[in-house]
Amino acid sequence: MGYSVYFIQPLTTDHQPLTCYMSHPWLAERTSEFDSSGIRKVFDLAAKMKHPINLSIGQPDFPVPDVVKEAAIEAIRADKNGYSVTQGIPQLREALQTRVDAEYGHADRRVLITSGTSGSLVMTMLALINPGDEVIFMDPYFVMYPALVKMVGGKCVMIDTAPDFAIDVEKVAAAITPRTKMILLNSPSNPTGVVASQESVKALAQLAAERNIALLSDEIYRTFSYDDVPASPAKWNDQTLVIDGFSKTYAVTGWRMGWIHGPAAIIDKLTMMQQYTFVCAPHPLQWAGVAALETDMSPQVTEYRKRRDFMVNDLRAAGYEVAPTGGAFYVFPKVPKDHGTATQFVARAIEKELLIIPGNIFSQHDTHFRISYAASWDTLERGLSVLQRLAS
């Protein structure tokens, strides 16, 4: 069975469109700035395959810890199913505040529980970015960043980090203009798995402070760090906004549970915005979040470290160029020489029922592809076998 794959136009299967994209006269102009995520198109394709080797999904494959599930069930049975206070139940907010205070010691730093890290991102963009403001972030980038910046009328300024995906702070400084409003950092990174060095994070934090630019640090993969604890710019810049969440750490991506912490004046305004948008994070699941914070996830992190080592070592042995990956659960190999673009390479992989994501979903370049190793060992081995054949 053949699969035709187009990542610029809608992804198709057997030449039939999976999704129909039509304009409508009522749609606002901002909706023309983005299309359905290329990752979602791969998910749609996977649903139509009989035996896919799925290394595309960016969510943990381990079960939610029982104690966390039981806490959610108990909260539902206890009728904690109405709205919570907008900023989050005190038990969860205070537990997170205690952690944040112990780590940073900022007298003015406050915590807000949000509807997923996506909720934090959306509200922060709405609160801080005016039309025409520039937002700097690194390329490769999480797929939502350009769409969110454009949604609020901002301008994306992308800093190329190829070939090693390390941050060059001098490049960032050179990109700053009078319209620069925000620098957006993601470490550990999706899609590369690269963890920014402490030196570069410190320099970035100091640069943002010196230039009076908002610094937003997306740390959703912080728990999945295999070689060292990732540096947070909040350590050197007390105005940094930090986003984190439960989704990746506890395998509850569908629960939409995140949080953001930063200067009280900004968090207070985000709390007001949440009243008029998401209202609150899911109430019964906030009680499960309290239990989650007391749950040891080190066995899962150790398991993912083994998978990281396996994938990186074997990909390199097969001839792929892979940058050092210290966190998250992704690797971002370069397409072998003379094998075409990443889009072409991924199309050949999908012909063999291997689902991976082409790099142009995350980058201005079409030279790499993303693999998620949040999959069973059998799936990883099958996928690696296909990649070894494709590289030969």
Question: Is the model's pLDDT at 326 over the cut of 50?
Answer: yes
pLDDT at residue 327, rounded to an integer: 96
Of 10-19, 142-151, 195-204, 212-221, the one with minimum mean pLDDT is 10-19
- pLDDT, mean of residues 247-261: 96
Contacts of 239 (CB under 8 A, 6+ apart): 208, 209, 214, 215, 262, 263
Taking the alpha carbons at both ends of the chain, their separation in whole angstroms is 23
pLDDT at residue 31, rounded to an integer: 81
Beta strands at 357-358 and 369-372: parallel, antiparallel or unpaired? antiparallel
pLDDT digits (tens, 9 = 90+) for 71-96: 999 999 999 999 999 999 999 999 99
> Beta partners for 134?
155, 180
- pLDDT, mean of residues 296-315: 97
- pLDDT, mean of residues 203-217: 98
Kindly state the tokens that stand for 157: 């300024």
Beta strands at 354-355 and 330-331: parallel, antiparallel or unpaired? unpaired
pLDDT at residue 40, rounded to an integer: 61
Nearest to 359 by CA among 228, 190, 226, 234: 190
Of 46-50, 98-102, 272-276, the one with minimum mean pLDDT is 46-50
d(CA 47, CA 39): 13
pLDDT at residue 39, rounded to an integer: 60
d(CA 273, CA 265): 13
Torsional sign, CA 261, 265, 270, 272: positive
Of 48-57, 203-212, 296-305, the one with minimum mean pLDDT is 48-57
Question: Is the model's pLDDT at 4 over the cut of 50?
Answer: no
- pLDDT, mean of residues 305-315: 98
Higher-confidence residue of 42 and 180: namely: 180
Question: Is the model's pLDDT at 106 over the cut of 60?
Answer: yes
pLDDT band at 32 (very low <50, low <70, confident <90, very high): confident
Question: Is the model's pLDDT at 14 over the cut of 90?
Answer: no
Higher-confidence residue of 259 and 32: namely: 259
pLDDT band at 221 (very low <50, low <70, confident <90, very high): very high
Of 22-26, 74-78, 210-214, the one with minimum mean pLDDT is 22-26
pLDDT at residue 37, rounded to an integer: 54
- pLDDT, mean of residues 31-54: 70
pLDDT at residue 13, rounded to an integer: 35
Question: Is the model's pLDDT at 145 over the cut of 50?
Answer: yes
pTM over 0.85: yes
Higher-confidence residue of 30 and 382: namely: 382
Question: Is the model's pLDDT at 11 over the cut of 90?
Answer: no
Contacts of 266 (CB under 8 A, 6+ apart): 127, 128, 241
pLDDT at residue 29, rounded to an integer: 84
pLDDT at residue 9, rounded to an integer: 36
Full 3-state SS string of 156-178: EEEEECCCCCCCCHHHHHHHCCC
In one-letter notation, the amino acid at residue 379 is: T
Nearest to 363 by CA among 187, 191, 140, 35: 140
Domains, the chain: 12-63+297-391 (3.90.1150.10), 66-292 (3.40.640.10)
Q: What is the DSSP string of 71-100?
A: HHHHHHHTT--S---TT--HHHHHHHHHHH
pLDDT at residue 51, rounded to an integer: 82
pLDDT digits (tens, 9 = 90+) for 185-196: 999 999 999 999
Average pLDDT over all residues of the chain: 92
How many C-beta atoms surround the C-beta of residue 36 within 10 A?
Answer: 13
> Beta partners for 101?
none
